[in-house]
Structure 1
Amino acid sequence: MEYRPVRLSTATEQACCILALIASRNLSPITNGELSARMAVSPSYLAKITRRLVVAELISSEPGAKGGFVLVQPMRLITLLMVVEAIEGDEPFFQPAGVVERVFKNRRRAVEKGMSVVQEKMHEAELAWRRSLSSVTMQEIIDDALKGEML
């Protein structure tokens, strides 16, 4: 079997882009239509992503003719983990489906021991991954990428 890394949806990358576009506006709201045009993504699809960012309180929607999306907090306070969890959720990566238990019904004790090790190692890996994502802010990513350039 070929190794396949944990996969995040393309919506996570798009959410990072949305935040960068909003941040580049210097507190001036950006509309869903503007985001859609810049990103070449349908407005209805973008609305699903922005909704998740609003629910996670990373952005807010300002009503009115001059309204649009703005950051709720500065990019220096928004971690990559916050963005990932806003889009992907915070459910554990590994959730046993009971396959091993069904296949090895007559080896219950061995299955429990083995699955305990698997769950522990998966949990450790997930914690390390989350710790890594929480250690970098969106502002740090932008600063590193731009090195003094404007968006």
Structure 2
Amino acid sequence: MATDACTQEGGAKEMSFASPVTVVHPRIVATDRIIGKRVKNALGEYLGEVHHLMVDMASGSIVFAVLSSGGIMGLGEKLYPVPWQALTEEEDDFLLKMRKETMETAPNFDRGHWPKADDLSWFERVYRFYDYSPPWEIEIK
């Protein structure tokens, strides 16, 4: 258990902690450096590319990277929302730990039929497919 000590020096309190504190620095990137990036699996197979980002307007957090895959010049193309935390940046690409065959069975939609923003059950199904919990769910202990 960490202990802290207070000392008085010139009327100001100084705090010292027995355990070190880890500071995480944010990594801020413009969206145009994300859109268009290729997504591959661990075998190096192409799964798609980042076509859009979906943002939770309440928190300002990215919740999905929408991958585009298949089709020719947009015809027959499928869009796959992937939970943002399922992607790992690797050099110039993203890595998604998923077999290509499994990705093809993921929840998807076409360019003209985006899911409704208030259809949380659909978005929750997407999160469950990728074995993640939606960020808007709060675990009560």
- What is the TM-score with the length of structure 1 in the denominator? 0.22
Structure with more contact order per residue of length (Cα contacts < 8 Å, sep ≥ 6): 1
The structure that has the greater radius of gyration is 2
- What is the TM-score with the length of structure 2 in the denominator? 0.23
The structure with the greater share of residues assigned to helix is 1
The structure with the greater share of residues assigned to strand is 2
